[in-house]
Each structure stands twice: as C-alpha cells, then as structure tokens.
Structure 1
Amino acid sequence: MSQSPHMEAPVYTLETVAGRQLQVAYWRYSGPPNGKPPLLFFNGIGANTEVASPLPTMLDDRDFITFDMPGVGESPDPAIPYNPFIMSWITSELLDRYEMPIVDVMGVSWGGGMAQHFALQHGNRTNRLILVATTAGMVMVPGKFSALSKMVDPRRYIDPKFMETHFETLYGGSTEGSDGHIHRIKPPSKIGYFYQLFAMLGWTSAPALPFLRKPTLILTGDRDPIVQPINGQILNMLIPGSELVVIEDGGHLFMLSHAQEFIDLVREFLDRDQIEESAEAA
C-alpha cells in the first residue's frame, strides 16, 4: 500500500514508561491543520504494530499512535504481570510524552477491552471511542470452539501455511486481505502472550459501561466466529447513546477484508463533530 502524501512514514521508538519498555509506532500527519485529535489504537492479542500499518495509511488525516504490548512485537518481555488499569495509566503517561492531551480511541478484539478501560479510566483524555470486533470482557457470549482452538495454537504466528489453511475457520467471513495480514505478523513470546491473556482474566467493563459518556461506535462482523455478533449488541445495550454497525459477510478481521467500508464508517464517525459544527455555522 502506497504512503499517503499527508502521512509521514512511521517512526518506531523504544520507550521506557514506569519501568516497562514498549515499542511505539507513530504516524505523523503533515497536511494542512485540521484540528483532528490523534488516534490511539489498541491492537488484538499477540498482534504487533506492523499488523495495524494499513490503518493509518488509509485514515490519513490525523496523527496515529500505537504500541506493542510487553512481550509482543519488538517490546521486551514483561518482568511482572500487568492489568488493564496499569496499561491504561502507562498509555496516558506515553501520550504525555507525545503531547497528545486528547485522543480518539480505537481497539480491536483484545484491544477493544483496553480501549474501553482507557476511556473509563481516562475519560478526560478521550474524545470518541471505536470498538471493533470486541466484547465487554467476561460478560460475553463465547466464540465457536473451532475458531478458539485455532486461536490458541502458536502455529498461527509462526507458520504462514497454517494460517492460510485455517484462515477462514479462524477469522470467518471474507478472506480478502488475508495474505498481507499473514506476512505482517511477528510471533509474540510465550510469556508475552500468556501475560496478555492473564491481564483480562476476570475483567469486565459491564458494570461501568452505563456510566460511559463518550460518543461510541461499535463495529461487529455478522460471520465472526471469535466474537459473535451478539456481543456487539450487548455493548450497544450497555453504552448509552452508542451506535452499532454490523458488517455484512464480516469475519473477525473485517477491518482488512472490508477495508474501504470500515474506513468510511470510521472517518464519518470521527469527523461528525466537525461536520455538525460546519452545518451550524452555515
């Protein structure tokens, strides 16, 4: 995918925050000033920053920041476990370094839980929230066993042939864009993957979500075998004023297989404040 003329090539840095080293990826928007907040992105479990690289290139009108969780991608293994509260605090400290007082927040799958927790813990820093193929944590309807059994198999990170063979079973829906995704993956360390799983053990946002007062867009695929669509309905029911969009023929990675539809929905939602202000001014 070609680089946007208004989006600089990503800068990767290893940051030490509260004793934890994190590989940070930062895409800087260099076009005309538009007042749009940066987008903070929380990735799925075991997913490295490169997996998200198509997103800032397509959504090319704002700064974009993400990072590898401890033991994932280029972030060194964690010395001790962590939880969503700790990682949300560390994320807030990281945003201070990049002079980002207010951000839009997006999370996919496991990262959707982090996005919810960050928005609840740091509401003063959160403008809008986008939840992609995710759940309210322990209050969820489980995915299909055939997909979950493949998800915990380490071969999905280290064996491209395994991923190609089982991609549809694992992620469901259209397989468009799967080849690029497969070759951007770097395997997490065993302890990094375990600590990510452990971080969300027993976690749920459900009791707090009725008090979340942020514009929220929930996107779910109608053929997602990992996060079944009813989980999006649960989030929609719990978050006041939230919007739910179900992607037709969308699996767990509909943000890749339905990239243009996904980007159009995200861009319209993020720009809505500015659109409404322009209409009022007219």
Structure 2
Amino acid sequence: MAYAAVNGADIYYEVMGEGQPLILVMGLGGNLDWWGTGFRKQLARARQVIAFDNRGAGRTNAPSGPFSIDQMADDVAGLLDALSIERADVFGMSMGGMISQEFALRHGERLNRLVLGCTCCGGSEQIPPTPRAQQLLAQFTRTISADDAMRYQAELLFPSEFIEKHHELLQAAHKMMAQVPMKRSDFLRQFEAIQSWRGTYDRLPTLEHDTLLLHGTEDILLPVQNSEIMHEVLPTSRLIQYEACGHGFAIQAASRVVTDIQHFLSA
C-alpha cells in the first residue's frame, strides 16, 4: 500500500505498467477501485497508469475543513511531485474531469494530453442533471441502505435497458465500488466542492493541450450536451459519444473506451 503526503492529506495511490505516465482522476464519492482492475490493466499495457483516491475518498485521509476543486487539482500536482514525475497525461471522469480541467489550467506545464469523461465546465453554462438524476443524487446525501444504494447508483449510471440485461454485472460492479465505504461527511465535502466550483467556461479557450472528450449519449447525471459545449470552446478538442451509454459509459463500453484513449494518447 503506497501513500504520499500531499497538501496535508495522505493520498493513497497504485501504479501499474511502465512508460509515459497517465494519471486517473475519479469522480464524486469514488476511489481507485471504481476504475476496475481490468480497465487499468488494459491501459497499462502501453504506459504507466497511476490511480489514486481523492481526498476524503477510499483510503485517503484528509484534514478537517471544506474541500474545493482547485485544492484537489493541486493534489494531482502534489502527487506528481511526490512521484518525481515532471509531466503526465491525465484522464478525469465526472468530478474527476472538473479536477482535471483545473489541473490543466493551474498546472499546464505538468500536462501532456488531457482526457475528460462525462464531465462539464460548471458555472451557469453547464447543463444540470435531469430532475430524476437530481432526486437520485440527493439520496446519497442521506443515510440509505446498501440495497437502495445499489439501486440508485445503477439508475444514475446506466440506462434502464442496460440495467435489465446486465443485473449480475451491475451487482459485481457495485460490490467492487463498495469495497472501501466513504464517510457521509466526506461525501458531503466533495459534493459541496462541486456546488461551489466557479467553473471553467471562460478559461477553456486558453487551454492549448490536446483534449479528448468522452460522453455517453444517455447520461442523466451530466447530460452529453455538456461535452458538446466544451467541445465548442476547446480549440484542440475531439469529441467521442457512446450511443446508448449513460454516465457509466466506461463500464458499458470499456473496450472501445480503452482503444479510443490509447489511440488519442499515442497519436
């Protein structure tokens, strides 16, 4: 088990593979287990993959006080320092995509290429979750049973047709995601960090790094229009949409996602 002291937090991380570093930045309430070992191993065939638990999540301990997206972006830079990595590619999902945008804008000299999955630019320009997604998300700010958590999480991440056809897969995915429970207080600190984030819309046009935007067309948590908005203002971006996939597109279309990322990073 590896830890790095970063900005007052003890960041837990794992490394797979060798070569050009790729940092994986997970979303709200998630930890590095949520990427899935198989997904990370596939990416690690061609590069060094570094996954970590954001402050307050998984095995990472964090001091008291509020979290911010800027702070968590600085955590990424601090982890690079701790690992003696000068520059890296970065792949952020959902809240991790918000963190990755801020990392790119605050620490651009440390970034090679950027991959943003199912995320948004924040601020007034973002497309909010659908009413049903807002109802489901609110459940996670309360104390709920394990069965309810699995049901709500599945509906947030996947279209109903996929849920009906892949019950066993989703049970296994939820079991993996629940291996290291997150304290409700820490979940709320991450949630509040998203709510207070200023957003990047006005600053994205200054970002010169090659950027790949990935999004499921049936995402109810952060609708696909969010990536379309970002694509319009990111001068060096490419957008790939995954038909019939939700917020959990990296599980639904894992092989395609890995291939798309590998092609982009090696181009």
**Could you state the TM-score of these two structures normalised by the residue count of structure 2?**
0.88
For the pair 1:84 / 2:84, whether they are aligned, the reply is no
Structure 2: tracts of 5 or more residues without a match: none
| TM-superposed deviation, 1:145 | 1.8
**1:38-84 CA-partner distances (Å, limit 9, x unpaired):** 11111010001111133211212211112212221111243122323
On the 8 A contact 2:8/2:63 being kept in 1, the answer is: no
Greater Cα radius of gyration, structure 1 or 2: 1
User: How far apart in 2 are the matches of 1:194 and 1:49?
Assistant: 19
Q: Secondary structure at the match of 1:152?
A: helix
Instruction: Confirm or deny: 8 A CA contact 2:12 2:60 kept in the other structure.
Output: yes
1:42 aligns with 2:25: yes
Q: Take 2:59 and 2:140, find their aligned partners in 1: how far apart are those partners?
A: 18
Distance change in 2, residues 1:242/1:156 (3 Å): farther
Question: Which residue matches 1:279?
Answer: none
**Secondary structure of 1:105's match?**
strand
Partner Cα separation in structure 1 for residue 153 and residue 186 of structure 2: 23
Q: 1:227 aligns with which of 217, 222, 231?
A: 222
Give me the whole-angstrom Cα distance separating, in 2, the residues matched to 1:207 and 1:155. Answer: 30
Question: Are 1:57 and 2:41 matched, yes or no?
Answer: yes
Deviations 1:62-110 (A, max 9, x none): 1111221222111124312232332222321221221211110110011
1:41 maps to a residue whose letter is: L
Which fold has the larger relative contact order, with Cα–Cα distance below 8 Å and residues 6 or more apart in sequence?
2
Instruction: Please say if 1:136 is aligned against 2:131.
Output: no
Asked if 2 retains the 8 angstrom alpha-carbon contact of 1:38 and 1:64, the reply is: yes
Task: Give how far 1:158 is off.
Answer: 7.0
Out of 171, 185, 192, which is 1:179 matched to? Answer: 171
Aligned to 1:257: 252
Identity percentage over the alignment?
26
Give the match for residue 97 of structure 1. Answer: 82
Counterparts of 1:152 and 1:164 in 2: how far apart (Å)? 14
Match of 1:4 in 2: none
Give structure 1 regions of 4+ aligned residues with deviation exceeding 6 angstroms.
Answer: 155-158
CA contact (8 A) 1:78 1:192 kept: no
Question: Which one has the bigger helix percentage?
Answer: 2
Q: Are the equivalent residues in 2 in contact too, given 1:46–1:187 (CA < 8 A)?
A: no
In the alignment of these two chains, the number of paired residues is 255
> What are the superposed Cα offsets for residues 207-230 of structure 1, whole Å, 9 maximum, x if unpaired?
110000010010111101111111
Tell me which amino acid in the other structure corresponds to 1:193.
F
Q: 2:138 aligns with which of 145, 152, 165?
A: 152
Query: 2 CA distance for matches of 1:166 and 1:198?
Result: 20
Partner of 2:91: 106
In structure 2, the partner of 1:190 is 184
The answer to whether the aligner puts 1:237 opposite 2:232 as a matched pair is yes
